Structure 1
């Protein structure tokens, strides 16, 4: 009975300290949350790097929270435990780091990307066979929005380890179109027609990045001409507008070549008649 009474008395004595400690811990947690938001909000516009802003905010919030927890232990009279916790933090960190190796690897990769990121939100990139626009960045993963609208979550460690293509880091992208022509056509005439088409598309760049039309390959049944043109993705109406530009060019190629009596040849099909039966054929207008 005496021991129970002593425990009860000590508990009653500790209640004010526990209450004060909880209040202090709560205030530190709230302060860490608010300071993290302020840092993230102010740093992000200046660095234009959401990863760096998030990293700095989390580091400051973590330090403030740990400080509040240590103060809480001291207030309730467990200062010795606080020292032991700090002393064993190294071993604890090692054990936790080993247990959550993949998560830690992604987090460290995110930190590296925070200080030197190969892309930013809105860039069109390709990594691990996935092509898409960067829609969100955080310390664990990067989120891509593919051209068909899918959200792909890629761990930062995979991005660090794998080759990465940034198609819009400077805004310029080059596109190619290959067409097959009959060996008997006037290639200079075709080249002039193709160049005039490209000159009439306002989004196709000129000057140092003017379009090119070259004979690329002498294939089995066609002479392949390659059209190369540049566009500035920063000035496009939408992210997928480059597809409409390519569509415009392809439609104009077919229409303008047909107007000039130049038709794109189809694949040659060889028909063998083993029964000596008459095969009915119809001539298509515009073909030889």
Structure 2
């Protein structure tokens, strides 16, 4: 059994080394526990103090997250130097600097989304609760984290979008202001009086409660369509998607009723069919 002696000696030396390092492990765990307490308490105090000011909630979350990250970074470095006394903070920082290129390449997307998230949180126009649209994706901003943004669509689906996607592409903030302009197209028959039709449409819009009357209501003749003269009708209403649907419903209903009351025709498309050869009509006797 002599061949087992080297293994026994190795196991014994590992066990002795582990026993010697146990106190250091205990101190390191205590350090991490104190770090956790400090991170929780200080970030909570920071969030409460910032919440009393006019700073946006997304920025409060950002500053709280950054403070936690710094505290955990310092606490982690202290715990490592306690377990391995030969590793000084200077050596650890040097090692982190040498490995930063490899880490940066390995976690490129994560870092990209991290910094994009910080810049998005600092960017004032997009707030929690806003409805936004970006490259065909739209919804209400529910939460902006360091890595991704949570959008709640109008059908209640949740969409998680990487922050770098929102930062690189144009973003339309639909609810940046309380009011937004909407438009529809209304067609009247060629035989109708254009000025009269325009006047009727304008008057019908003035009686709609969801249409902002302090903003201009615009009706413009826009083109000769195949079977109608088309008008562009513009108005201002609540900027949310629900506000758009409500105002559009009432506008279409009011214009239709007003034109019907004045016997102004809203035509449907006409089609004329031509045939190369004359068509023969056959009479069937009873």
Give the structure-1-normalised TM-score: 0.83
Q: Structure 1: which 5+ residue stretches go unaligned?
A: 280-288
Would you say the 8 A contact 1:111–1:139 is kept in 2? yes
1:210 corresponds to which residue? 216
Q: 2:116 aligns with which of 101, 109, 120?
A: 109
Q: How many Å apart are 1:26 and its aligned residue?
A: 1.4
Calculate the TM-score normalised by the size of structure 2.
0.83
Which string of whole-angstrom CA distances, capped at 9 and with x for unpartnered residues, describes residues 230-258 of structure 1? 1143xxxx751320221111112222211
Q: Displacement of 1:276 after TM fit?
A: 2.6
Structure 1 equivalent of residue 163 of structure 2: 156
1:143 and 2:145 aligned? no
Distance 1:16 1:148, change over 3 A: closer
Distance 1:106 1:157 in 2: 5
**C-alpha contact (below 8 Å) 1:179/1:226 kept by paired residues:** yes
Q: How does 1:12-161 map to 2 (within 5 A)?
A: 12-43=19-50, 46-76=53-83, 78-80=85-87, 82-161=89-168
Are residues 162 and 75 of structure 1, via their aligned partners in 2, closer, same or farther at CA, if it must alter by over 3 Å?
closer
Q: RMSD value over aligned CA atoms?
A: 2.8
- In structure 2, the gaps of 5 or more residues are 1-7
Contact 1:50–1:138 at 8 Å: present in 2 too? Answer: no
Q: Does 1:197 align with 2:207?
A: no
Query: Residue by residue, what CA displacement relative to the aligned partner does 1:12-67 show, whole Å, maximum 9, x if unpaired?
Result: 45433432231122121232134334434543563543443233222221222222
- Aligned residue for 1:244, secondary structure, equals helix
Q: Which deviates the most, 47-56 or 142-151?
A: 47-56
Quote how far apart the aligned CAs of 1:122 are: 1.6
Q: Secondary structure at the match of 1:179?
A: strand
The correspondence for 2:231, drawn from 225, 229, 251, is 225
Report the number of matched residues.
Answer: 274
